[in-house]
Amino acid sequence: MNTALLFPGQGSQEAGMGRDLAEQSADAMNLWKRAERISGLPLREIFWEGSEADMADTRALQPALTVVNISLWAAVAGRVKPCAAAGHSLGEFSALAAAQALPVDDVLEITALRGRLMAEADPHGMGAMAAIVKLAQSDVEDMVRQSAETTDRPLIIANYNTPAQLVVSGAKEAVEHAAGLAKERRGRAVMLKVSGAFHSPLMAEAARELEPLLRRADWSRPRFPVYCNVDGRPAHEAGEALDALVRQMTSSVRWVDTMRRQHADGVTAWLEIGPKTVLGKMVAPCLAGLLPEGGTPAVFSVRNAAEAEALAL
């Protein structure tokens, strides 16, 4: 099978993540320690013994989840020959590390700074995000336009997760207005517990501050194409991946386009590397109408040490 790797982002964190593998593998434990030195945060204490509130802090979450993703990939890398990869938002950095487009230490440094900048981008709580479900994409796009015009505040679709699961992001007034419209149209809106309006123009200053570190990183040509969040297209060269990452923090995550483009390019199986199975569950809805009648996509996961060992066997 032509297999693509999928790496999750924020929202896939869970208590105890990565602990079992770190206690079995010195390399995995050392990766946690390197991330702690780079971030200056007690990541193992937070995610192995801390509270949900501590784990939701994007300053700790971003480097910690990256450690888990990369550690799990390292545990199975010799037994899987991917033809492509993609990562959802934060997960795109793990995908680039897996493709050896960026060294692991550079990825840890970038994600630690990214987490801090995103946490500090909205100190007064002016931004918000909401998941919109049970409505067609065209309806949500219309709601976003209407809410932005009515409130005169910025609002965009931040995540095209599936055709019926989208996330809006922007000024709190505009997000709340869109949530009201969703209910009127018999959809459902769920306000997300985040520290700002991620993947929206309100992240522009954070994106400008991150860009110099992205450009200084030691980029290489990816060993396999990494499909980019900003347009769903594959990056075959280092420059393509860099340009996409520079735009990523203020642009939409076009996950539906990513999955459909991978399918069109010949991917026949998807392997999610990371906690939970959030992305694996999105594959079938994204490919609705593209598979043979009654067909289901081949989706696998490696969430922990036991599943890494099972894959090896």
Question: What is the DSSP secondary-structure string of the chain?
Answer: --EEEEE--TT---TTTTHHHHHH-HHHHHHHHHHHHHHTS-HHHHHHHS-HHHHH-HHHHHHHHHHHHHHHHHHHGGG---SEEEESTTHHHHHHHHTTSS-HHHHHHHHHHHHHHHHHS-TT--EEEEEEESS-HHHHHHHHHHHHHHHTS-EEEEEEEETTEEEEEEEHHHHHHHHHHHHHTT-EEEE---SS-TTSGGGHHHHHHHHHHHHHS-----SS-EE-TTTS-EE-SHHHHHHHHHHHTTS-B-HHHHHHHHHHTT--EEEEESSS-HHHHHHHHHTTTTSPTT---EEEEE-SHHHHHHHH-
Give the pair of three-digit tokens for residue 218. 């030691």
Q: Which residues contact 253 (CB under 8 A, 6 or more apart)?
A: 88, 89, 158, 159, 160, 161, 199, 229
The residues annotated as belonging to the active site are 89, 199
Give the largest CA-CA distance in the chain.
57
Would you say 288 and 21 are in contact if contact means Cβ atoms under 8 Å apart?
no
Residue 234 CA to residue 122 CA, distance in Å, equals: 32
